[in-house]
Structure 1
Amino acid sequence: MKKFLLYFLLLSAPYAVHAQFDKLKDSVVQFYGVIMTADSLKAIPAVSVVVKGRNQGTFSNDQGVFSMVVLKGDEIEFTSVGYKPVLYKIQDTVRDNQISVIQLLVVDAQYLPATVIAARPTREQFERDFINTKVPDDNIEIARQNNDAAKRRILSRSLPANSAEAASTFLRQSAQRYYYNGQAPPQNIFNPLAWADFIQAWKRGDFRNN
């Protein structure tokens, strides 16, 4: 029995190899054609014709003609600098083993921003622009400006009171309230010292909106 099976396999092997060869031969396609511009129908040389997903391809010659062997079901990509890429699909239902195409490529227009070319500035113009150029302040200059008296007053009004200042203010208000407990507190509108403090604060700009 084993000898019979071995003999049968030896006899059927050439037929299996032949069937696989016929199947592979039927799937091979000679793909060729010419690549031209879509607007003027001029031949485009050096166009890359590559099978997508497989390291296989070719280039078009000076007349835009190309030729390569592909398989049914392959996707062929045409790419060239200055043109939009095109993808061509080899259908599985193709009966012939040769396919010829006239592939048109559309120009990929890309507009660059306008460049203004100006004359070289004179020495006087360079010196004027160099002097009037605003140089940003460094950390030392920023620290010096923050230590200015007017700047410190502005910053002090925006800072919240710490615990010692809050406690001191609360104690002063409580002492004043207890001092005038049971009687009306005096009105500072008739106090010349209060008016003097108000005038000084007005001159300093304490009531100015920032």
Structure 2
Amino acid sequence: MKRRLQFLILLAIAIPFATNAQFEKLKDSVVQLYGVVMTADSLKAIPSVTVMIKGQNRGTITNEQGVFSIVVMKGDIVEFTSIGYKPKLATIPRDLEGNQFSLLQLLVTDTVYLPATIIRPRPTKEQFERDFVNVSIPDDNIEIARKNTDESKRRVLARTLPRDGTENSNMFLRNNSQRYYYNGQAPPQNIFNPAAWAEFIQAWKRGDFKNQN
């Protein structure tokens, strides 16, 4: 019993020192990494470069001036990637003194080789004129906007597009309000409502029922 008590006392004294030593070791391993990413040929800042810790789902991106800042651990491998540039790896030294590390990372342009394209003229002038007249030109943004704002197109979209959350909530509230309003009595029939018949006739003239089919 006495030995057990001595062991517990020794353990209670040793645990705080071990925890404190482990915390100091972890604290010493944390590094604030900051730097600039630039092009290797012209030394221009590269914005929106992805800066990721390799093997971890953690990272950041550079700002408009190519500057970044991220917390890493000593020994981590940092990967720099950006569209149009070759990826680059940088290793944080394990024997780094202090808890700050600056880095000037240069990225090299990634050359992409496309297959050769051969342009040949039309055999005759008449064939060129015929192909030029019959070529199908895709719609530009103005033409697409004009088609989307057409009255018939808007009517079709209004019937086919699903309701959003606000419309569904309003419809649910209106249905509940109407049900509670006529609670305990039969609701009126719109077959004898002149306004409902007028709306039905106008919809029939507009061709709403025909477009639905």
Q: TM (normalized to structure 1)?
A: 0.55
Match in the other structure for 1:104? 106
Q: How does 1:38-49 map to 2 (within 5 A)?
A: 38-49=40-51
- d(CA) in 1 for partners of 2:8 and 2:33? 42
Q: Counterpart amino acid of 1:109?
A: T
2:68 corresponding residue in structure 1: 66
Residue 84 of structure 1 aligns to a residue whose secondary structure is strand
1:127-206 pair list within 5 angstroms: none
Q: C-alpha displacement at 1:115, in angstroms?
A: 2.9
Could you tell me how far apart the structure 2 residues matched to 1:98 and 1:121 are? 69
Q: What amino acid maps onto 2:112 in structure 1?
A: Q
Q: Identity, % of aligned pairs?
A: 61
Matched with 1:81 is 83
Map of 2:149 onto structure 1: none
Q: Which runs of 5+ in 1 are unaligned?
A: 127-210
Deviations 1:100-123 (A, max 9, x none): 01111111111212334556788x
Structure 1, residues 28-50: CA drift from partner, whole Å, max 9, x if none? 11111000111111110111111
Aligned to 1:182: none
Distance 1:26 1:120 in 2: 73
Structure whose alpha-carbon radius of gyration is higher: 1
Secondary structure of 2:47's partner?
coil
Cα offsets for 1:24-69 (capped at 9, x unmatched): 0111111110001111111101111111112221111111011111
The TM-score with structure 2 as length reference comes to 0.54
Secondary structure of 2:80's partner? Answer: strand
Give the Cα separation in 2 of the matches to 1:120 and 1:99.
Answer: 63
Aligned residue pair count: 126
Write out per-residue CA displacement over residues 80-131 of structure 1, whole angstroms, 9 at most, x where no aligned residue. 1100111101111111211001111111111212334556788x869xxxxx
